[in-house]
Amino acid sequence: MLADTIAALATPPGEGGLAVVRISGPGALIVADQCFQPAGRTAKPPSAAPSHTIHFGHVVHDGHRVDEVLLAVLRAPRTFTREDVVEISCHGGTLVAKLVLGAVLAAGARLAHPGEFTQRAFLNGRLDLAQAEAVADLIHSRTDLALRAAHEQLAGGLSQRINHLRDDLMQALAHVEAHLDFPDEDIAPDTQAQLLVRLERGLAFMDALLRTAGEGQILRHGIRAAIVGRPNAGKSSLLNQLLGHDRAIVSPIPGTTRDTIEEAANIRGLPVIFTDTAGLRAGGDALEALEAEGIRRSHAALAKAELILHVLDASESLTPEDECHLAEFAGKKRLLVCNKTDLPPRLELPATAAPVVNVSCLTGDGLEALRDAIKSLAWFGQRKSDLSDLSEVTINSRHEDALQRAYAATERAIAALNASAGLELVALELRLAVNAVGEVVGKTTTEDLLDAIFSTFCLGK
């Protein structure tokens, strides 16, 4: 695959000021020679141009000029892929970019697969696997915290720690295998104690990483929060206030919301996907079919939610329905949001372990405190309040799976060492742990795994 020269549109499709077509591979400069016509008497073809220079000219195809462009020549190894790279900046527009890319493909390049540029950067040693995944995280970041975490991982923050862990386990394995070469000699007690200290240190490090797996998932994918409550409690008003614009229709008529409305918002740096639901109320056959369907969808949204904002009307007394819902949601992670605090208070809540926030969607009072409460409840790992050190929260589900297997193997190695079960068993478990840790940064991996990871990238990256 690395013998091919690949090309793709590196900018989003559609109309814009510029579009960039990227070419990478051993024949990138030859392909550029075939489709680029430099302007000026002393102009050189791309293959004769110095590295990291930009040239003005035209992309041509079948003897016709396609577009006026700027062409950048980037010679290996000082490129993203560590291959020869050519980037053509043409005018934005679906047709123009398509024709320029078509000219490049006709000149000898093939269309790149999704993520193939980043995959080549990994295969050529420019990035390890954790850093390569950070490229996708960087592109898909929706908040500043997610962006900072992706930058930290791309800079190698996670990789350095994983490599240190792997080196520690490798040294322990080497020590055990050295003793296997001399089966008549047992490990001295002080040597065994040193091995156990090293392995226990590895366990503690893996445990610290695994504890933050949920936070890493929140930064990447967000947390789902369902806004629920009786009709007319102010759920839609609350959604509009949290979003900062009118997304849901607000009406004093109960049952206005007939369907779930889903919208993402940045809450103190965390991506939160809010779902405004139809008002929950009993009624059986007396309910309109549309409202009944809306309530059914509300319960479906509740089942998927990781956080519940239970909205109550602070200007009314607690109803039997409210009490029923308080009991129903008791097992969920939730906030009790007492709305309409601008009106005379009549609500008295029973004793509950759930946090309570008083707000007025009319005046905006209490909304900042609500945002703080949402962040506090969502960011359940009790991290530093300023979230300044994000190097450890960047593990994704693949990292989590690998570290869990490494943790279990290390635990078995410690148990075998303490039970004098035989150094062969200890060495076997340590090899499993070393291989699992190596998967995080791509030191032990398979072609299928690489295909699965890079297929999720966008075309041209």
- Residue 320, preceding peptide bond in cis (omega within 30° of 0): no
Q: Which two tokens stand for residue 276?
A: 């405004």
pLDDT in tens, 67-89: 999 999 999 999 999 999 999 99
pLDDT in tens, 130-167: 999 988 888 888 888 888 888 888 888 889 999 999 99
The mean pLDDT of 340-367, rounded to a whole number, is: 89
Instruction: Taking the CA atoms of 296, 297, 302 and 307 in sequence, report the sign of the dihedral they define.
Output: negative
| Best-predicted range by mean pLDDT (301-305, 323-327, 338-342, 452-456) | 338-342
Using CA atoms in the order 110, 125, 33, 44, what is the torsion angle rounded to 10 degrees? Answer: 160
| Best-predicted range by mean pLDDT (61-70, 128-137, 353-362, 451-460) | 61-70
Can you give the pLDDT at residue 445? 77
Q: Which two tokens stand for residue 374?
A: 């949402």
Q: What pTM does this model have?
A: 0.76
> Between residues 22 and 262, which one has the greater pLDDT?
22
pLDDT above 90 covers a percentage of the chain that reads 46
* CB atoms inside a 10 Å sphere around CB 103: 25
Structural domains of the chain sorted by starting position, each given as residue range(s) with its CATH number in brackets: 6-127 (3.30.1360.120), 130-212+394-442 (1.20.120.430), 222-378 (3.40.50.300)
CA–CA dist 234, 340 (Å, integer)? 8
**Contact criterion met (CB below 8 Å) for 310 and 374:** no
> Measured between alpha carbons, how far is residue 91 from residues 46, 97, 107 in Å?
20, 7, 20
The residue among 393, 392, 397, 411 whose CA lies nearest residue 169 is: 411
pLDDT in tens, 85-113: 999 999 998 899 999 999 999 999 999 99
pLDDT above 70 covers a percentage of the chain that reads 87
